[in-house]
Structure 1
Amino acid sequence: MSAGKLLHGHSRHSDGGGTIDYPRGYDVLAEIGFLGRRRGVFTRLAALSGAEQGHQIVDVGCGTGYLTRMLAPIVGREGRVTGLDPSPAMIGHARRRSPDNCSYQVGEGQAMPFPDASFDIAVSSFAVHHMPVSARGTAVREMFRVLRPGGRLLIAEFRPPANPLAARLAAVLAGPAMRPTMPELLADLVPGAGFRVESTGTVGPVLYYVTAVRPLDAPS
């Protein structure tokens, strides 16, 4: 059993997925997994998102709200960061720790409770691998739907480390997240949803990211 599975409260899906219902335990494991570099890695993600003053951002699978809180001072008082997560425990934890320009809703990425073209930016960090296999494509298409034309997407996920010992540790922590590798999966899901990929890269030992744009002339 992976360390990640120990934090899952339950799974409602036959093809994987479920919720993480132990926010404090999740944060502890995240700090260990990033070897004390979690803040630096997420600072980099916030920059890669393209967030600016006044932007409306949705964080899909926001968990404890860590990235949401880092984006909040960037968008400022005129902006808003909305976190979405299927776990009421995670949402409650995030609400208690976030500034006024953050809001949170319980919900799933594959069925977002937001109107079309509601946001300037959609971000998702370490969330896609928690979704049922059959729902991952739907979730990325939902990110496309809720973005305005010209809106930006950032998805950050696990990648297998090159070092064999680190790869073994990552497999224990992430479990099924490494099968198939998320870089391979996102290479199909993101353009398949209609996005134009702008860049891909890595941050730290286990993070792979994709940035993309919803084209201005893309059909709704």
Structure 2
Amino acid sequence: MKLHHHTDHAEGAGPILRPRLYEVVSEIGFAGRRRLVSIRLVALSGARRGDHVLDVGCGTGYLTRLLARRVGPEGHVTGLDVAQPMIEHARARAPGTCAYVLGEGQALPFPDARFDVVVSCLAVHHLPAAARGTALREMFRVLRPGGRLLIVELRPPANRLAARLAGVVAGHALRPSMPDLLAELVPAAGFRVEGTGELRPLLHYILAVR
């Protein structure tokens, strides 16, 4: 899970600037299941051998490295993040089939139809609220026709006590409900939604096609 800044909802959660601390908190947040969940996300993405994949909000590059194994030496994975410390951390650990770019999700520095797959895990809530629709439209733009999108975000727990606790820990990421927000933003950007689902402990995903 991400580290959160306490900001106004319109501002987004803001960037994460401490990669080593982020890695520790992620392991704790996923209750020791980070690798298993990430492998599941790679499978859900539909990435195949030889694909070109973009990871928007790649953070420390954990998911990009797993995606690189999936696409093999014939493929390529590009990670994009707004935080220079995250990019530097990711580059230091990257295989040859990964590259990392400093940039914003709402202004992707790539040509149209560049990628076969776009993924974004726990990143949309970090964008300013007004920029989220733009970011989804940018993801649509850089995907080839028929390309696949996987967005993963936090979901509020069903249990009221657990929801209150999650609100304290995750704060901004659960307000507004990201599953409800994505259900609006993804089709509005032009995508055809193919499926949604949940992963433990608190993840919601949406699969779509350009």
TM class, shorter-chain normalised? over 0.9
One-letter code aligned to 1:195? F
Q: Are 1:182 and 2:174 counterparts?
A: no
Normalised TM-score (structure 1): 0.90
Partner Cα separation in structure 2 for residue 64 and residue 169 of structure 1? 26
Partner Cα separation in structure 2 for residue 14 and residue 207 of structure 1? 22
Q: For 2:80, which of 84, 104, 113 is the aligned residue? A: 84
One-letter code aligned to 1:72? A
Aligned equivalent of 1:109: 105
Q: For 2:15, which of 10, 15, 19 is the aligned residue? A: 19
Q: CA deviation at 1:136?
A: 0.3
* Within-5 A mapping of 1:46-65: 46-65=42-61
Contact 2:118/2:150, CA 8 A, preserved across alignment:
yes
Q: For 2:188, which of 183, 192, 215 is the aligned residue? A: 192
Aligned equivalent of 2:5: 5
Deviates more, 1:62-71 or 1:161-170: 161-170
Q: CA deviation at 1:100?
A: 0.7
Partner Cα separation in structure 1 for residue 10 and residue 181 of structure 2? 20
Normalised TM-score (structure 2): 0.94
Change (3 A) 1:158 1:14: closer
Partner Cα separation in structure 2 for residue 167 and residue 144 of structure 1? 32
Aligned equivalent of 1:31: 27
One-letter code aligned to 2:56? V
Contact 2:13/2:173, CA 8 A, preserved across alignment:
no
One-letter code aligned to 1:150? G
Q: CA deviation at 1:177?
A: 1.0
Contact 1:140/1:190, CA 8 A, preserved across alignment:
yes
- RMSD (CA atoms): 1.7
* Within-5 A mapping of 1:66-145: 66-145=62-141
Q: Are 1:203 and 2:171 counterparts?
A: no
Partner Cα separation in structure 2 for residue 85 and residue 142 of structure 1? 14
Q: For 1:154, what is the secondary structure of its paired residue?
A: strand
One-letter code aligned to 1:4? H
Identity of aligned residues (%): 65
Q: CA deviation at 1:14?
A: 6.6
Post-superposition Cα deviations, 1:60-116, rounded to whole Å, max 9, x if no partner, equal 000011110110111000100000000000000011112110000000000000000
Partner Cα separation in structure 2 for residue 135 and residue 3 of structure 1? 20
Q: Are 1:147 and 2:143 counterparts?
A: yes
Contact 2:11/2:127, CA 8 A, preserved across alignment:
no
Partner Cα separation in structure 1 for residue 157 and residue 140 of structure 2? 29
Contact 1:3/1:172, CA 8 A, preserved across alignment:
no
One-letter code aligned to 1:34? F
